[in-house]
A and B are shown apart, each in its own frame.
Chain A
Amino acid sequence: MELRQPVRILLMAVVALSLVLSACQPAAPAVNPPAAETEPAAPAGSDTEDPAPEGEPVDERLTTLVVAVDADPANLEPATNRAFPIGSEIIINVFDTLVAWKAPDFTTLEGRLAETWEVSEDGLTYTFHLRPDVKFHDGTEVNAEAVKFSFERTLELNSYMTAYFGPITDITVVDPLTLTITLEKPLSVFLSWLAQPQAAVVSPAAVEKYGDEFNVHPVGSGPFMFESYIPDTEVVLVANPDYWRGAPRLQKIIYRVIPDASTRRLELENGTVDIAQQNGQLYSVPVEDIKALKQNPEIEVIEVPSQIIRQIDFNNTNTDSPVADLRVRQAISYAIDYDGLVNDLLGGTASRVYGPLTENSWGFNPAVKENAFYYDPDKARELLAEAGYEEGELSFTLYSFQGTLWGNVAAFVQANLADVGINVSIQQMEFPPYSELHRAGEFEIALDGRQPWYNDPDAHITIGYHSELGPTAMTFRMPEDPELDQMILEAQAAPTQEERTELYYEIQDRLMEKVPGVYLFSPNIIIYKRANVKDLVVNSAPPLNEYWSVYKIAD
């Protein structure tokens, strides 16, 4: 009898809760077929075409692309961008650069704001002829003044760019549509840098208007216009109907900040997110998720080889270290079961890397594939014996980043090395202290990664191997080689891509002999998208995606 009251209260609570919940349920989505035909013509040359016939209702969700990103873009302004992947992608959708890598293979540059350009005989002066009648989103003219203004602004505000824009000695506005840039030395890679978000052209009028607030009110001339930004929540872009290549097919892009990987997956499965990107970060690609999502007919998984390299760094500048001995480095390289790592541990979400460049780089030397190391534990044991080490005599601490996948890779390497008689203890650490340790050179072997931030072999080679850059986190630790340094500078400067390719071939051969690290694998860029999202073009190097051509069809 005494239970009656609590039971009644409990019942009432349940009823009340279910009422609240059902009241919150959204009305069933109206199944309106989109008015627009679901097969819009290619945007190129379609500047007169209307994306949707006037007067007919279009489902807003079908013209809106929701992109899930894992962190706040932090910075939307080209001048102070420091290669944050998300901010960079937004920038290339809001702004134009003078030149850009041409889809779909991204190995040649095409003109964007620059219609054409010439390089002087001595390789010092670049003359750009701008496209006429291009306007910024605020209606002002894109002209040579604006380009000069933008580059000078980046140089002034971005310490990150000093190394890249530093060699500029002069920028001259010849006439409103012509601009010359003079460099202190020939530097062909300079054009690749101009395709970067830091080299995007900003509206001088808008910079003046917004001042310090320009980084949350970016105004460019790109296919999408900035609409709003809510920190840690979203960035909203809307179509620029007057875009010089033709209006984009989407009306709106919403970048939603969803930091948790499992939440991104649920949102994608739920259809509330159209695209989820992994940005090539190793730790954010759970292999099981990919398998499950591939089974889902509503979702397409795009896997594109990246130019990212994951490797074991050797610190062989310290002559006391066992890894200063070439045979030990070779032995470790032979001890790794590369195929097992790529296919089993990483479930095919990565590909093998053979040397300092990935196979999809235009500078990749095919000969490297033959000279590369393959799994041969017997040979590894032989080399260790030759170097005078008995089984179990060598011990290393393998430093690594945090995260399950880094941990798994480290454990895999540990097991491989144990197999040839090398003891390894693993220490995973947060990025800031890891980076400090690396800079200080207080390690012998470390798991590491190289993510090139522009699409040029130079992004791996100079930062990775030029001794002048000293003890940065990105530089492989090896004894100085002035001849190699010279070759790297020549490859940066050589006038044509053919000549540069030749030089990069030589550099790769030379590096393969030195064994500066164990090149492990290159994670794929993995992009999950709803099956109704069409015409997405994925770049193999950051900045990642341009959404100008993308559209959605009804499910």
Chain B
Amino acid sequence: MLEFTARRILYSIPALLLVLVIIFSLVRITPGDPAVALLGEGATEAQVKALREQLNLDLPMHEQFTRYVTGLLHGDLGTSMRTNRPILQELIQRLPATLELALFATLLALVVGIPLGILSAVYRNSWFDQAARLFSLVGVSVPAFWFAIILQIIFALLLGWLPVSGRLDPLVRPETVTGFLILDGLLTGDYDAAKDALRHILLPAAVLAAFYGATVARYLRANMLEVLSSDYIRTARGKGLAEVKVLLKHALQNAMLPVVTIIGLKFAELLGGAILTETVFSWPGMGRYMFEAIKVRDYPVIQGATLVFATIYMLSSLLVDLFYGVLDPRIRLKG
């Protein structure tokens, strides 16, 4: 397993390099000059030229690439054209927000999705199953931004239970340890801050979890149905095993295999693809950072963030593969 992991990480290096080459060329092919976009409406030709020089955009592309990769090898992701700040530092500031939201949404999705999936398979075609399937259908089809606004109106404006948006009340500022606010609050003993952070994360996490949980429930139901009709389950029941044990130990473990893949992919997707939710809830995460960067063609930021996304994608698919081995000992992990 160790060998497998090492090999997979080694293989990911050329893949990352390829991603880098593609994104590096893509951003430069996309119409729109960062110097023009950054200077805005009022810029004169001379100002644009000066800024292009300052940003090294006047150099030939291969030279820009060499400089960029040299920087990368020295652990330097470059400087944001928009903010003049080191990109590594900006990423470190935003990644925890996104990870925290993604983890929380995953948790919520699994807590809702797995029981729903199991129960609607077990009580197939009952009213519960119908309701659960309706929920799943609505969950995957409702547009996230619409659902978000409805939740904001109900829980923030009408009921006043939860805040409209943000990660924390602006007057609450706990000490930062990890950047994960709930965890930070707990670690520093600032329970009010932890509670405040929890109140802020519920709505955006619920929006993300609706789609995510519905997907998990649908897949799990389908897999459970398949597994439950297989021979070994009949054998297990014939042996007189308790139904709970048959369901949770024998059936679920096998039915979960494809679902784990879904979870891994969805989790990685949440990291970069939650732009709408992050925007509606003023969540200072990676999706919005990327979006703002694309708007002004902030090349180094787009490149840096893409690299981070690609790395996380690879890590999460590696984790999924490793988890396969845990779930099903028959799967041997050899490179």
Residues of A within 8 A of B (CB): 2-3, 5-7, 9-10, 13, 20-26, 60-61, 64, 66, 71-72, 74-75, 80, 82-84, 159-160, 162-163, 215-216, 228, 230-234, 236, 254, 256-260, 262-263, 266-267, 269-270, 272, 430-433, 435-436, 439, 449-451, 453, 463, 469-474
Contacts and interface: CB of A to CB of B under 8 A. Distances in A.
Contacts of B46: 162-163
17 contacts: A21-B162, A82-B40, A83-B42, A159-B47, A215-B83, A232-B288, A233-B282, A258-B165, A260-B165, A260-B282, A263-B164, A263-B279, A432-B34, A432-B297, A453-B42, A470-B45, A472-B43
A192 to B, nearest CB: 14
A66 B41 CA distance: 29
Contacts of A233: 166-167, 282, 284
Most chain A CB within a 10 A radius of its CB, from B40, B163, B199: B40
B123 interface: yes
Interface in B215-244: none
A61 B42 CA distance: 39
Interface of B: 31-34, 36-48, 50-51, 54, 82-85, 90, 93-94, 112, 115, 119, 123, 126-128, 149, 152-153, 155-157, 160-167, 170-171, 173, 195, 198-199, 202, 279-282, 284-285, 288-289, 292, 295-297
Nearest to A60: B171
Contact of B83 (A7, A72, A259): A72
Contacts of A269: 157
B310 to A, nearest CB: 22
A22 B45 CA distance: 59
Contacts of A71: 292
B157 A266 contact: yes
Contacts of B82: 74
Given A162-B50, A259-B279, A471-B45, A82 B90 contact: no
A224 B33 CA distance: 36
B280 A262 contact: yes
Contacts of A216: 85
Given A2-B123, A258-B282, A432-B37, A25 B42 contact: no
A472 B90 CA distance: 32
Contact of B54 (A159, A270, A432): A159
A5 B120 CA distance: 12
Contacts of B123: 2-3, 6
A3 B47 contact: no
Contacts of B41: 435, 449-451, 473-474
Contacts of B166: 233, 256, 258
Given A216-B85, A260-B279, 19 more contacts: A6-B123, A13-B115, A61-B171, A64-B170, A83-B42, A159-B47, A163-B44, A163-B46, A232-B284, A256-B282, A263-B165, A266-B165, A430-B295, A451-B41, A463-B44, A469-B44, A470-B45, A472-B45, A474-B42
Give the one of B34, B36, B128, B162 with max A CB within 10 A: B36
A6 B119 CA distance: 7
B297 A230 contact: no
B115 A9 contact: yes
Contacts of A266: 149, 152-153, 156-157, 164-165
B47 A160 contact: yes
Given A263-B282, A433-B32, A21 B161 contact: yes
A450 B42 CA distance: 8
A163 to B, nearest CB: 6
Contacts of A20: 202
B36 A439 contact: yes
Contact of B90 (A23, A231, A432): A231
B43 A432 contact: no
10 tightest A-B CB contacts, nearest first? A432-B32, A232-B284, A159-B50, A433-B31, A432-B37, A24-B199, A6-B128, A254-B170, A233-B284, A258-B282
Contact of B202 (A7, A13, A24, A60): A24
A160 B43 contact: yes
Contacts of A64: 170-171
Given A24-B162, A24-B198, A256-B282, A7 B288 contact: no
A231 to B, nearest CB: 5
B170 A256 contact: yes
B195 A24 contact: yes
Contacts of A472: 42-45, 48
Contact of B282 (A160, A257, A471, A473): A257
A24 B42 CA distance: 48
A439 B35 CA distance: 13
B328 to A, nearest CB: 27
B170 A66 contact: yes
Contacts of B39: 82, 160
B32 A436 contact: yes
Contacts of A234: 170
Contacts of B38: 82
Of the candidates A83, A232, A473, the one having the most CB atoms from chain B within 10 angstroms of its own CB is: A232
Contacts of B45: 439, 469-472
A408 to B, nearest CB: 20
A3 B161 contact: no
Nearest to A232: B284
Contact of B165 (A7, A10, A267): A267
Nearest to B168: A233
A83 B84 CA distance: 15
A399 B226 CA distance: 55
Nearest to B55: A159
A228 B170 CA distance: 11
| Interface hub of B155, B164, B280 (most chain A Cβ within 10 A) | B164
B153 to A, nearest CB: 7
B43 A474 contact: yes
A7 B128 contact: yes
